Structure 1
Amino acid sequence: MESIENVKYCHVGIEKDKSFFFDHVHIVWNEQITIHQSNDWELSYVIIGSGTRVVGDNMETFSKGEIILLPPNLAHGWYFDENVHDKHGKIENITIIFPDSFLDKCANTFPELVSCIKSLKGITKGMSLKGELLSSIQRLMYSMTLQNNLEQLTTLLQIISHISSNTDMQVVGFRERQSRNADKLQEVHRYMLTHYHDKITLDDVAKYVGMNSSSFCSFFKREKGTSFFTALNEYRIKCSCIMLQETSMTISEICAAVGFNDIPYFNRTFKKIMQVSPKEFRSNTN
């Protein structure tokens, strides 16, 4: 996976008869663009699929239904699980991208939008929509798949109005470049993301970030307050939870898919972290 210093800068071409970009896709899980950033705003809705999301300095699992608002110049990427898809083997999502100049033009043209635009521009971190706000924006974004250009514009203005006047959101990521430790920790996160299903040794991850094993252990404990392998197991269990909820894979298949090679150890670790067994978790959530 790319280092944050090698993040791709992406420019999306907006058609001449539109003022923003709207994309509704059904694609194979690994066709999603890797970590990138742009000068535009982005609203991303995952309809089918799950995996791991990287936004700025934050890495965490996600599942279907989430909507994330991203301000300009914030590195991000969605890494989908190959086991979670529709009957055609594909994921589905909707992405809306609009430039900052679009917001400026709206504010300059329509006085009614000035306060909305000002409020939206106050958002400087990645935000995850929650509660009733999430439900309403899900409906609005999906309705755009059946609309013409003018109808889509009207709906986007509704979306901006809803988001700017609602606090039902949670921070999911931001970027702090001033810290060398933040860069190093992000490299660790990326190694964990791409190798969690493999057998990982301390030497492997330490070498990846350019440290010896002893220095790496001290660094990770100091930055995260826990050991690397404790954090790795917690991440593996989070991934297994998604698979238990959204796939028909057996528990032994999931155990192997998230990097455990011993089912009793997987079961013990799962129960320690989730307070229930994998079987009970699947039963309670389905």
Structure 2
Amino acid sequence: MKPVFEFISPLPSSSLKAFFQEKDEFDAPWHFHPQFELTYILRSSGLRYVGNSIENFEEDDLVLLGPSLPHCWKNVGPQINKAQAIVIQWDLNLLGQDWLKQPEFSHIKRMLELSEKGIRFDKVFACKIKDTLIKMLEMESFEKLMCFLNLMQLISEQPEYQILCDHNFTITTASQQSDRINSIYQYVRKHYGSKIRLEDIAAHLHMTEENFSRFFSRVMKKTFFTFLNEFRLHMACKQLIETDLQVKEISYACGYETLPFFYRQFKRFKQISPLQFRLKYHKLDPDFA
């Protein structure tokens, strides 16, 4: 079974994504993404699939996953209550390219390296940080980031944990498809502010333009340029909130060649104009009062 690539849109107001998930049952497919993920199961039980690990899970299951590690939680049998979880996702370069090289983050660095094969933490410890995770969901961006770093340090100092995947498991064995999608994501992330031609991204993957287009549409269920446009709009939203740059500057910085086209695309996907989006967010955020 090949894992499905999941595109995680960055939040415009935060360096990490923390959210509460509630569903009738966990229905996410076997998937992967370039971000780290910390998942706390508040309510539900079933089977947890991580790499080549298959284990039962129940309430207070706390798992840390490294980038591109395939995973999913699946319920087994009828569920009396809805499935609930808290999920935190973040990029490797959360605080800049070399932040993990600083001595203050040595324990966190080691833990993140171990997460390449998945880590399950002791249930007693998981229960101790449950309230902190719940409170994080309502925090403002800066407070949330500080809380997250303290939490990561606390987790990295825990002596009781279990590595989930076998020692011989490597992400490269997941599938060539997974590697290709991850490579596309990293390319777009690096070059979205410049003009990206189909021949450039196809050559990056050593594919013809036709084969690349067919591959991307089959796997992602959308065209490459639809994906690229969505990514650029997410980054534009982030800059509209976090900077005082003019809309014209933001549109060019995000790879749009003309301002009218940027406005049309923004309104099509967000249902409001860039300026209305900025004003709406600032009215909702007390930090901008």
> TM-score, normalization: structure 2?
0.53
Tell me the residue number matched to 1:165: 157
Of 8, 12, 27, which aligns to 2:8? 12
Correspondence for 1:122: 113
CA distance in structure 2 between the aligned counterparts of 1:29 and 1:102, rounded to whole angstroms? 31
Which of 99, 111, 126 lines up with 1:107 in the alignment?
99
Displacement of 1:61 after TM fit?
A: 1.3
RMSD between superposed Cα atoms in Å: 2.7
In structure 1, stretches of 5+ residues that fail to align are: 184-286
Residue matched to 1:84: 79
SS in 2 for 1:135: helix
Residues 20 and 102 in structure 1, CA contact (< 8 A), matched pair in contact too: yes
What SS class does the counterpart of residue 49 from structure 2 fall into? strand
Give the corresponding residue for 1:281: none
Instruction: Note closer, same or farther for the CA distance 1:25–1:85 as it changes in structure 2 (3 Å cut).
Output: farther
1:153 has 2:153 as partner: no
- Give the stretch that moved more between structures: 112-121 or 136-145: 112-121
State the shift of 1:11 in Å: 1.9
What aligned pairs does 1:120-269 form with structure 2 within 5 A after superposition?
Answer: 120-123=111-114, 124-173=116-165, 175-176=169-170
Check the 8 A contact 1:49/1:81 in 2, yes or no.
no
The answer as to whether partners of 2:93 and 2:99 remain within 8 angstroms in 1 is no
Q: 1:140 Cα deviation (Å)? A: 1.9
Partner residue in 2 for 1:93: 85
Tell me the alpha carbon deviations over residues 7-30 of structure 1, each in whole angstroms, 9 at most, x when there is no partner: 111121111211011110211215
Amino acid at match of 1:10: E
Aligned match of 1:27: 23
How far the C-alpha of 1:106 sits from its partner, in A, is 7.8
> 2:95, 2:54 → 1: CA distance?
29
Say which SS state the counterpart of residue 26 (structure 1) adopts.
Answer: strand
Distance in 1 (CA, whole Å) between partners of 2:40 and 2:144 is: 16
Letter in 2 for 1:19: S
Q: What SS does the corresponding residue of 2:41 show, helix, strand or coil?
A: strand
In 2, Cα distance between the equivalents of 1:156 and 1:127?
17
CA distance in 1, matches of 2:92, 2:19: 18
Instruction: Say whether the 8 Å CA contact 1:67–1:138 is kept in structure 2.
Output: no
Which residue of 42, 47, 72 maps to 2:67? 72
User: Deviations along 1:62-95, whole A, 9 cap, x unmatched?
Assistant: 1111110001111101112352242xxx211110
- Residue 99 of structure 1 deviates from its aligned partner by 0.7
- Could you say what secondary structure the match of 1:18 adopts? coil
Aligned equivalents of 1:125, 1:167: Cα separation in 2: 17
- Structure 1 pair 147–177 and aligned structure 2 pair: CA distance change class (3 A): closer
Aligned mates of 1:44, 1:177 — CA distance in 2: 19
The answer on 1:47 being equivalent to 2:42 is yes
Residue 164 of structure 2: SS of its match in structure 1?
strand
Q: Distance in 2 between matches of 1:162 and 1:69?
A: 13
Superposition deviation, residue 119 in structure 1: 2.1
- Runs of at least 4 residues off by over 6 Å: none
Quote the Cα distance in structure 2 between the aligned partners of 1:16 and 1:106: 22
Aligned residues: 172
Identity of aligned residues (%): 21
Structure 2: tracts of 5 or more residues without a match: 176-289
> CA 1:16/1:145 → structure 2, altered by over 3 Å: closer, same or farther?
closer
Q: TM-score, normalised by structure 1?
A: 0.54
